[in-house]
Structure 1
Amino acid sequence: MLEVLTISQNDIVHQIKLSCELPSILESIMTRQIITRAASEIGIKVELEELQQAVDNFRLMNHLGSTDATWLWLQKHSLSLDDLEEIATVSVLFSKLSQYLFAAQVEHFFVEHQLDCVQIVMYEVILDDEDLAMELFYAIKEGEISFSEVAHQYIQDPELRRKGGYLGKLKRIELKPEISTAVFSATPPAILKPILTAQGAHLILVEEFIQPKLDNVLRYNILSNLFSEWLKQQIEQFQVKID
């Protein structure tokens, strides 16, 4: 027979403090309170159909495909059905409040920050020897060797070598300033003269620019970022008092 170990709510709170998780917990509480209060002041309500859809989405995200799985999950997290509905309610309010406050600003924000959303498709080989990098740069330019051959010969990381130095689709903010300046000034397709950083000499092939489109995914990301920034500003206006 298993021995019973009693854990009080004070024990839980104390462990949260010892785990240094209290600041993030407090921020989550404040976020929920700010959202519910702002929604109430504006008159935003959650309809029954919206609540059910939010619950279904939550179950899907947490792989709770059956009623039994849902109940076991609730028990594991010491939650009730009412708690699940509260989670879903806050989720709906988050969506509706963000739409109310910032939906009309999304297109303007996109136009103003369009350059920040441009992506570059690029390949990179980093060499320790600047002279070798320069030699390979001219060899590629003259067609004596391909960038792919250089990548397979000089990249040490097996995965990156298999991809020929392909780094994916990157935004300006994801690159070092000295690299982003050169990369985004290029006219693709182009091989760039080696760029020196603390890592070494970067031999870069710029394949293409991908111009951003304001599709549903980008629209949602912009909306979420605007709303998150608003929440951050709201939180900074409050001083927390723990009762």
Structure 2
Amino acid sequence: MTNNLITSIEVEEIIDHLKKNLQFKETCHKILQQRIIQRASEQRNLTVTDHEIQTEADKIRREKRLEKAVDTLAWLNNQLITPDDWESGIRDDLLRHKLSKNLFDQEVKKTFQQNLFNFGQVLLYQIIVPYEKLASEIFYQIEEEEMSFYQAAHLYDVDEKRRLQCGYEGTIYRFKISSELSPMIFAANPGEVIPPFKTEQGYHIIMVEKFIKAQLNEEIYQQIIEKMFDEWLFNELNYLFHNSGEISTHTPAAQQEEQS
């Protein structure tokens, strides 16, 4: 009964669902973006080989622990797609990656150098509490060495994960820190505890452990090139709309009616 319900879904029903849930425009944009990628790739003679698709598929299988072919088929069946559908999606992703690298690989280093300031990192700990009086008392006890920063974080932080990690927040890029906190954090000295500071989250007490010089690693490379490619794709899509008039979104049934 369930399989019959699934296989009986019509294209018009899917389109109607997307429209009612305000997802139709977004879906159309994604389809048009893929057309733009395909056209730009053809102009540059960029292709994806069967070997590249197989390599990526094997990587996905390992990540999802799909050790046997039957496991992969069961997973695809659960996603309501065929192996050909899956391979086609992999091909699209790989082509997008190749095109982005073809267009912007030479620009990444230049962009990184121009924005070096924002790619510095800081390893920090912090405590967030809901009340100013409590924050002041905690800061005083840390300053007077009545308790360590780590003890205070373990006792008082509002976030359970940070409490268990004694305030450890991790290594964070400067551009990911709010404009409220960034000036104080990067003006501090390693090991210094910054006095309580209020944001929407509550009252912060922050300790800087160390600063890490900006470097163009794989993570930053991908962030920069993806941002540049997304901006390019957005502009190409706008150009398509402004120069092609209305985009056809007819369903197959509507097209058949028009042809008849």
Fold similarity call, TM over 0.5:
yes
Residues 12 and 214 (structure 1), Cα distance of their counterparts in 2 relative to 1, 3 Å cut: same
Residue 179 (structure 2) pairs with residue 181 (structure 1)? no
Greater Cα offset, 28-37 or 151-160: 151-160
2:199 paired residue number: 197
Q: 2:119–2:173: 8 Å Cα contact kept in structure 1?
A: yes
CA contact (8 A) 1:58 1:88 kept: no
- Once the two structures are TM-superposed, the CA of residue 211 in structure 1 deviates from its matched residue by 2.3
Amino acid at match of 2:71: A
Q: How does 1:5-44 map to 2 (within 5 A)?
A: 5=5, 6-44=8-46
TM-score (norm 1): 0.84
Matched to 2:38, the amino acid is T
Task: Mark the CA change 1:215 to 1:129 in structure 2 (over 3 Å): closer, same or farther.
Answer: closer
* Alignment partner, residue 57 of structure 1: 59
Deviation at 1:39, TM superposition (A): 0.2
Q: Kindly state the Cα deviation for residue 202 of structure 1 after the two structures are TM-superposed.
A: 2.3
What amino acid maps onto 2:248 in structure 1? K
In 2, the alpha carbon distance for the partners of 1:82 and 1:99 equals: 26
User: Contact 2:119 / 2:175 at 8 angstroms: preserved in 1?
Assistant: no
- List runs of 5+ in structure 2 lacking aligned partners: 242-246, 251-260
Q: CA RMSD in A?
A: 2.7
CA drift of 1:27 comes to 2.4
Indicate the residue corresponding to 1:241 in structure 2: 248
Deviations 1:156-213 (A, max 9, x none): 4443222222222223343332221111111212111222335543222111112232
In structure 2, what is the equivalent of residue 115 of structure 1? 117
Separation of aligned partners in 1, 2:156 and 2:63? 42
- Residues 94-146 of structure 1: CA deviation (Å, up to 9, x unaligned): 12111111111111122122222222222222345545544543443343432
- What SS class does the counterpart of residue 152 from structure 1 fall into? helix
Q: Assess if the C-alpha contact under 8 Å between 1:54 and 1:91 holds in 2.
A: no
Question: What are the within-5 Å matches in structure 2 for residues 152-171 of structure 1?
Answer: 152-171=154-173
Taking the aligned partners of 1:29 and 1:2, their CA distance within structure 2 comes to 29
Q: Provide closer, same or farther for how the CA distance between residues 156 and 33 of structure 1 changes in structure 2, counting only shifts above 3 A.
A: closer
Taking every aligned residue pair, what percent have the same amino acid on both sides?
30
After TM superposition, the structure 1 stretch with the greater mean CA deviation from structure 2, 130-139 or 94-103, is 130-139
User: Which 10-residue stretch deviates more, 42-51 or 191-200?
Assistant: 191-200
Q: Which runs of 5+ in 1 are unaligned?
A: none
How far 1:155 moved relative to its partner? Answer: 2.6
Q: CA distance change for structure 1 residues 233 and 190 in 2, over 3 Å: closer, same or farther?
A: same
Offset of 1:8 from its aligned partner?
1.8
Give the deviation of 1:78 after TM superposition: 4.5
Moved segments of 4+, more than 6 Å: none
CA 1:57 to 1:155, structure 2 compared with 1: closer, same or farther past 3 Å?
Answer: closer
Superposition TM-score, scaled by structure 2 size: 0.79
SS in 2 for 1:177: coil
Checking the alignment, whether the CA contact within 8 Å between 2:129 and 2:158 is kept in structure 1 is: no
